[in-house]
Amino acid sequence: MYHSIQEFLMEWKLNKDATSKVMAALTDESLAQKVSDDDRTLGRIAWHIATAIPEMMEHIGLVINSVKKDAPVPKTANEISLAYTAAASELADIIAKNWTDENLHIVD
C-alpha cells in the first residue's frame, strides 16, 4: 500500500522506465514471435500491457485518452512503445494533478 502520491509516482516512474526499455527492445519482426505454441505473440503481450492502463484505470474512474482499451494491436513496435509511454505518462499526470494522499485511503 502506498502512503503518499509521491511514493506511488516514484515507483510508477521506475516501473514505467523499465517497461519502456523492454518495449523499445521490440522490433517489428519480433512482434509475431510467440512465447510458446499456446501463448500470445510478443506484440499482443506488449499491446496488452499498454491497453491495461486505460482498462484498469476506468474501474476507478480515471480516463486515459492517449490509448483506448479496445484499440487494435498496432502494426509496428514503435507504435506500441509510444502508446505505452503515452498511457503511462498520462496516468502519472492525472494522478499528480487530481489526487491527494487522502485518495489512497478511500475504500469502496
Q: Of 76, 70, 69, give the one whose Cα is nearest residue 31.
A: 76
Q: What pLDDT is attached to residue 104? A: 86
Alpha-carbon torsion angle 84, 90, 92, 97, nearest 10: 180
Q: What pLDDT is attached to residue 25? A: 97
Q: What pLDDT is attached to residue 38? A: 87
Q: How far apart are CA 16 and CA 35, in angstroms?
A: 22
Q: What pLDDT is attached to residue 106? A: 81
- pLDDT beneath 50, residues of the chain: none
